[in-house]
Amino acid sequence: MKQSLNEIARGKFDLPRLREREALCAASADLREGLAAFSAQREPVFSGR
């Protein structure tokens, strides 16, 4: 996501590639862990996946 945000800020980005990165992040185990931790009001334990 950081790379995508940097590309957007520079005004030089490839929309299909941004969408691909977005899909990868949305399907990540870390996103699911973050949402579960938030819901349970606990600290998340991220695995980098």
pLDDT in tens, 1-47: 899 999 999 999 999 999 999 999 999 999 999 999 999 999 999 99
Can you give the pLDDT at residue 33?
95
Can you give the pLDDT at residue 1?
84
Q: Is 48 inside any structural domain?
A: no
User: What pTM, to 2 d.p., does this model score?
Assistant: 0.68
Q: Is 45 inside any structural domain?
A: no
Closest CA to 1 of 38, 9, 46: 9
Q: Is 47 inside any structural domain?
A: no
| Domain span holding position 16 | 2-40
Name the domain count of the chain: 1
Gap between the Cα atoms of 4 and 15, Å rounded: 10
DSSP 26-42: HT-HHHHHHHHHHHHTS
Q: Is 11 inside any structural domain?
A: yes
